[in-house]
Chains A and B, each alone.
Chain A
Amino acid sequence: MKVDQISVFLENKPGALAEVTRILGESGVNIRALSLADTKDFGILRLIVNDKEKAKEVLDRKGFTVRKTEVVAVEVPDRPGGLADIMRILAEADINVEYLYAFVQQSGENAIIIFRFDETDRAIAVLSEKKVRILEGKKVYTL
């Protein structure tokens, strides 16, 4: 039920993001979803890709600091209040969301949101119980 996300440490300087995307592009790695968290000095690029092993390997080789983290891909009904329902379920269960971002593509009628929880396993259990659809990693990488 979990999805592997790749995070890359970037200095806050022109061209940093361009280099990562160029390296991935040249290696034939396709980016499925991404978000960039930035501060004054540095940024953290988070990616869901079609080939995570390859992405980590090529970025490692170019000297980037790369890390894998487990996140959860949740299907959210594409209608007003769709995300609010899910957030309410999580709030009631007292589950903290570290960050979230949206997928570039839809899954049928639904949007896909990537969640990073502090308690990943409990979050999956709570969401599944409430019949929220969670996507398998395999499906997410090839969407």
Chain B
Amino acid sequence: MIWNEEFETLPREALEALQLKRLVSTLERVYATVPFYKKKFDESGVKPSAVKSLKDLQRLPFTTKSDLRDNYPFGLFTVPLEQVVRIHASSGTTGKQTVVGYTQRDIETWSEVMARSLAACGVRKNDIIHNSYGYGLFTGGLGIHYGAEKLGASVIPMSGGNSKRQVIIMQDFGSTVLTCTPSFALYLAEVAAEMGVDFKKLKLRVGIFGAEPWSERMRDEIERKLNIQALDIYGLSEVIGPGVSIECIEAKRGLHIFEDHFVPEIIDPQSGKVLPYGEKGELVFTTVTKEAFPLVRYRTRDISVLYPEPCKCGRTLVRMERVSGRSDDMLIIRGVNVFPSQIESVLMNVKGVEPYYLLIVDRKGNLDTLEVHVEVNESLFSDEVKDLQALGRKIEKEIKDLLGVTAGVKLVEPKALQRSEGKAQRVIDRRKI
């Protein structure tokens, strides 16, 4: 179902005209109200009034995560705090958190794009949404929540944790839609199995998963173990939160970006040059309707591809490929570029391997080492040492063949690796350079 037929199916020309009008007004506003933007625009020699087409956006400077940190906490807000009705912050693993604010209208915009997202996944008013994204500073929980209420569905504000209780509530309340991280969904399946609860007998039919990278193989596994349709949602707090883009249940191929609010670009992460449709690079977003915290050419660090081809669902919005990694997660191991997601897809292609892994990067002498921890479950386990050693060697060979990097595989006990309720830590880099 299309929630907002008018804006989600706009002819491209009309959409681009709308984007340009909104873009110019955003640029004028940030230039006039935020010293950071005025300084940056002046330095680059491009005044907002010089932007005459969407292509002119490319002439403007990027905004990065460190710009956000430098202006911590409220330096990039364009409105006085009295107009801000909500503040979120993103989990900063290093240094300061990044803080974002919303006016009442921003909350409405966010609810709108989330309602569109839920509708695109086939969620209806009569659905019961079991929302296991964390509630709090993280945008996941409240983002889904407001969208669900706007859509008119019944939302259970579960938040993360307490997995046994989650399974009981899912069973007793008859939840039909699950929203959480993909690894938490698989974790719930394990917990349910331990409790003797059969997911096939639950009313759950759709899962909307995001906040961490996942793969097609993981989708297959979730769909099989939970007996649902699993869809990918994308968002980041800096841009608005969840609801920046969504897969449609009709095609399940790429995530439609709500371009009437967020203008996407793909750039080469090294040179910063804009890449054409179809080429892989770093996603950059400019928000064109946000009031409290607009962003101009924000570098997400997420790696994706944009596809402009029309979709069978009827939306005219461009689609982004599922995020395949982060430009700053890229590991350089003995000169070879490796994304953790690439290791994951190698593991997923070995029969019986679960989608949990941990990469440990270290430096012995002057040489980088990569150790991959893989869980041994019942289907991989053998009572003979030689079989397990052969399994380890097979994975090592696949990694070497496909990624060109030498890795050591360490077999670990099941459930030794983290099942995340937020974002799972998949890489430990011990190199001290």
Chain A residues with a Cβ under 8 A of chain B: 5, 7, 9-11, 16, 37, 39, 41-42, 44, 46, 61, 63-67, 69, 98-99, 116
Contact = CB atoms under 8 A, between A and B. Distances in A.
Contacts of A42: 376, 388, 411-412
B413 A98 contact: no
A67 to B, nearest CB: 5
Interface string B364-389: 00000000000011100111110011
A32 B415 CA distance: 29
B194 interface: yes
A11 B413 contact: yes
B413 A10 contact: yes
7 contacts: A42-B388, A42-B411, A46-B383, A63-B414, A66-B381, A67-B378, A116-B384
B411 A41 contact: yes
Given A10-B413, A39-B389, A42-B411, A65 B383 contact: no
Contact of A44 (B378, B383, B415): B383
A63 B385 contact: no
Interface residues of B, number: 18
Interface of B: 194, 376-378, 381-385, 388-389, 410-416
Given A9-B413, A10-B413, A42-B411, A65 B385 contact: no
Q: Which secondary structure dominates where chain B touches chain A?
A: loop
A11 B416 contact: yes
B413 A65 contact: yes
Contacts of B413: 9-11, 16, 63-65
B194 A61 contact: yes
Given A7-B383, A69-B383, A44 B388 contact: yes
A10 B384 CA distance: 13
A65 B376 CA distance: 7
B275 to A, nearest CB: 43
A9 B376 contact: yes
A11 B412 contact: yes
A98 B384 CA distance: 8
Contacts of B377: 65
Contact of B383 (A5, A11, A16): A5
Contacts of B415: 63
Given A42-B411, A65-B381, A66-B381, 13 more contacts: A5-B383, A9-B376, A9-B388, A11-B411, A11-B416, A42-B412, A44-B383, A44-B384, A44-B388, A61-B194, A65-B377, A66-B378, A67-B378
